[in-house]
C-alpha cells in the first residue's frame, strides 16, 4: 500500500552489507551482514513459538556468553524444522565468519528466513562471506533491508533523530522484513535496530521489550506466528555519551520513545505489506477490567474470520463484532454495559443496535481504507489497541498457491 522506502540515517560505527549468496533466490541479494563496533551492546527478543528455528536457538546461546560483533542474516531458507543438523549448520555459519574476522564464534548471531524444513546450503553462504565483509558500509541500510526480504513487496526502513538533555543529537534506525506474518514459513518477522548511544545492557533490553510490546506484538494478521521471529536493538556507543543506566532519566525515556516510534513504523509497514490486505483496522478495547482481558477481546475480534471478511466487503455487519466480544470468555460480561463504535459512530449500546445508528453511516466508514473498531466493556480502566487487516480472496490465493 504505502511505500516505506525512506532512507535511514546511518549509525556511526554500524556497518552493513548486502550480498548475493544464491541460497534460494537468483539475481538478488539474499545475505545481509551488520557489523557492530567493539563495546556495542545488544538486546534481543525472539519468537515464543515452541518450535524455535535453529538460528534462534544458536543466537540465544551466543547472546548468553558474548556481546555480538556481527549479525548474519540470510533469506530464502529458514533453517527451521531441521533438527540437530540445523543447529550445527547455524553454528558453522557463525564459525566461518569468526574465522574470517578473527572474532569469537559466539560474537556472531545468525538469523534465517525462508522455507521451513530444508537444510541450510552452508557452502553457498560461506562462499559469500568475504564479499559480505568487503562491502560493509555505514550507508548500506536500504540494500540490506532488501536482502532480508522474502515475500515482502517493499523494503522496510524507519529512522528517528532525537536530542539528549545535554544537547547531543542521537539517532535510531531500523530495518524489518515480514509481509504481515501471513505466511510464517516464508514471512518470518525480523527487525534490526541500532542507535549510536551507549546504553547499559539491562536497560537496553527493557527498552526493546517495551517497544516491541506496543508495536510488533500489537499487530496481528491471522494469529499465526513464526518459528524464526526475532528483533534486535544494538547500542553502538559511538556517540560518546556516558552509558544510559537510569530507567527514569529523561534521556532514557527519549530513547525509548524513539525506539518505539521506529518499531511502530516498521510494524505498520509489515501490516501494509501483507499481500491480500485491502484495509488497515485498529481494534481498540477499553474500559476492561485488566490488560489481559482487553487484549483477549481485541484478539478475538481481530482474528475472527467473520469480522475480517465483513471488513473486506465493507459491510457494517456489527452482529459479527458483537458475537466475537461475546465469545471472548470475559468473566460475567454485562452485555448492557458494552458499547461498540466504528471510528466515532456508536453502533451498539445497551445490548442492541444504537437508536441513532444508521446503516448508511456505518457503510460510509466501512468503505474507508483505514477503519477503527472500538469496544468499551464497561468494567474498568484497562485498554489496549492492536493493528490488523481484513481477510480477502487474495489471502486465500496467496496462502493456498504458495509452494504449489
Radius of gyration of the chain (CA): 22
User: Rounded to the nearest 5°, which phi and psi values hold at 110?
Assistant: -95, 145
Q: What is the DSSP letter of 199?
A: B
Residue among 67, 214, 309, 368 that touches a copy of itself (CB under 8 A)? 309
> How far is the C-alpha of 191 from the C-alpha of 232, rounded, in Å?
6
Active-site residue, selected from the candidate residues 47, 151, 188, 384: 188
Least distance in Å: CB of 269 to a copy of itself? 21
Which of 196, 294, 302, 176 minimizes the C-alpha distance to 241? 196
Query: Is 188 an active-site residue?
Result: yes
Residue 117 CB, nearest distance to a copy of itself (Å)?
A: 5
Cell readout for 305 is 474470520
Question: Does residue 360 interact with a copy of itself by CB under 8 A?
Answer: no
Stretch that binds a copy of itself, among 11-19, 143-151, 288-296, 325-333 (CB under 8 A): 325-333
Instruction: Give the span between the Cα atoms of 74 and 3, in whole angstroms.
Output: 23
Among 100, 253, 306, 361, binds a copy of itself (CB under 8 A): 306
CA atoms within 13 A on the CB side of 371: 29
Q: Is 46 in the site for a copy of itself (CB under 8 A)?
A: no
Query: Residue 169 belongs to what H/E stretch?
Result: strand 169-177
Shortest approach of a copy of itself to residue 326 CB, angstroms?
Answer: 4
Residue selected from 325, 386, 387, 389 as contacting a copy of itself according to rule CB under 8 A? 325
CA dist 74 and 19 (Å) reads: 10
- 65 is a contact residue toward a copy of itself (CB under 8 A): no
Strand partners, 285: 375, 384
67 binds a copy of itself (CB under 8 A): no
The contact mask relative to a copy of itself for 260-289 (x = CB under 8 A, - = no) is ------------------------------
Q: How many CA atoms lie within 13 A of 381 on its CB side?
A: 0
DSSP letters spanning 89-154: HHHHHHHHHHHHHS--GGGEEEEEEEESSS---HHHHHHHHHHHHHT-BTT-HHHHHHHT-SS-SS
Residue 320 in contact with a copy of itself, rule: CB under 8 A: yes
Part in contact with a copy of itself (CB under 8 A); list of ranges 90-98, 263-271, 283-291, 321-329? 321-329
Which of 3, 123, 169, 313 binds a copy of itself (CB under 8 A)? It is 313
| Contact pick of 210, 315, 343, 385 for a copy of itself (by CB under 8 A) | 315
Smallest gap from residue 330 Cβ to a copy of itself (A): 7
Provide the pairing of β-strand 230-235 with 190-195. Answer: parallel
Minimum CB distance to a copy of itself, residue 334 (Å): 9
Give me the residues that bind a copy of itself (CB under 8 A), please. 48-52, 80-83, 85-86, 115-117, 182-185, 222-227, 303-306, 309-310, 312-315, 317-320, 322-328, 330, 333, 335, 348, 350-353, 391-393, 395-397, 399-404
* Residues annotated as part of the active site: 188
Amino acid at each position: 500500500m504505502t511505500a516505506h522506502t525512506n532512507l535511514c540515517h546511518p549509525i556511526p560505527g554500524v556497518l552493513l552489507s548486502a550480498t548475493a549468496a544464491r541460497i534460494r533466490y537468483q539475481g538478488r541479494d539474499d545475505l545481509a551482514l551488520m557489523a557492530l563496533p567493539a563495546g556495542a551492546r545488544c538486546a534481543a527478543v525472539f519468537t515464543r513459538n515452541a518450535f524455535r528455528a535453529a538460528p534462534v536457538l544458536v543466537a540465544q546461546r551466543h547472546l548468553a556468553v558474548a556481546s555480538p560483533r556481527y549479525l548474519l542474516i540470510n533469506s530464502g531458507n529458514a533453517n527451521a524444522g531441521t533438527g540437530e543438523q540445523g543447529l550445527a549448520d547455524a553454528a558453522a555459519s557463525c564459525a566461518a565468519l569468526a574465522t574470517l574476522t578473527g572474532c569469537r564464534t559466539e560474537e556472531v548471531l545468525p538469523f534465517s528466513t525462508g522455507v521451513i524444513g530444508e537444510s541450510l546450503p552452508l557452502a553457498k553462504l560461506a562462499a559469500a562471506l568475504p564479499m559480505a565483509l568487503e562491502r560493509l558500509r555505514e550507508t548500506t541500510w536500504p540494500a540490506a533491508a532488501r536482502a532480508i526480504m522474502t515475500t515482502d513487496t517493499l523494503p522496510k526502513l524507519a529512522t528517528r533523530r532525537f536530542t539528549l538533555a545535554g544537547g547531543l543529537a542521537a539517532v535510531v534506525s531500523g530495518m524489518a522484513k515480514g509481509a504481515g506474518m501471513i505466511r510464517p514459513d516464508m514471512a518470518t518477522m525480523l527487525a534490526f535496530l541500532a542507535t549510536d548511544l551507549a546504553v547499559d545492557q539491562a536497560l537496553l533490553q527493557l527498552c526493546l521489550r517495551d517497544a516491541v510490546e506496543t508495536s510488533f506484538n500489537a499487530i496481528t494478521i491471522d494469529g499465526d506466528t513464526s518459528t524464526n521471529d526475532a528483533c534486535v536493538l544494538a547500542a553502538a556507543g559511538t556517540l560518546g555519551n556516558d552509558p544510559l543506566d537510569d530507567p527514569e532519566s529523561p534521556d532514557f525515556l527519549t530513547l525509548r520513545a524513539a525506539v518505539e516510534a521506529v518499531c511502530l513504523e516498521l510494524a505498520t509497514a509489515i501490516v501494509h505489506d501483507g499481500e491480500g490486505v485491502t484495509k488497515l483496522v485498529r481494534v481498540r478495547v477499553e474500559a476492561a477490567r485488566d490488560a489481559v482481558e482487553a487484549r483477549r477481546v481485541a484478539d478475538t475480534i481481530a482474528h475472527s474470520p467473520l469480522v475480517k471478511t465483513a471488513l473486506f466487503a465493507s459491510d457494517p455487519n456489527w452482529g459479527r463484532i458483537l458475537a466475537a466480544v461475546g465469545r471472548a470468555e470475559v468473566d460475567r460480561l454485562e452485555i448492557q454495559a458494552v458499547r461498540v463504535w466504528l471510528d466515532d459512530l456508536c453502533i451498539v449500546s445497551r445490548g442492541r443496535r444504537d437508536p441513532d445508528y444508521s446503516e448508511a453511516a456505518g457503510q460510509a466508514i466501512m468503505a474507508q481504507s483505514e477503519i477503527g473498531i472500538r469496544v468499551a466493556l464497561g468494567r474498568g480502566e484497562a485498554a489496549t489497541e492492536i493493528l490488523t487487516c481484513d481477510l480477502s480472496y487474495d489471502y486465500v490465493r496467496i496462502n493456498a498457491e504458495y509452494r504449489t
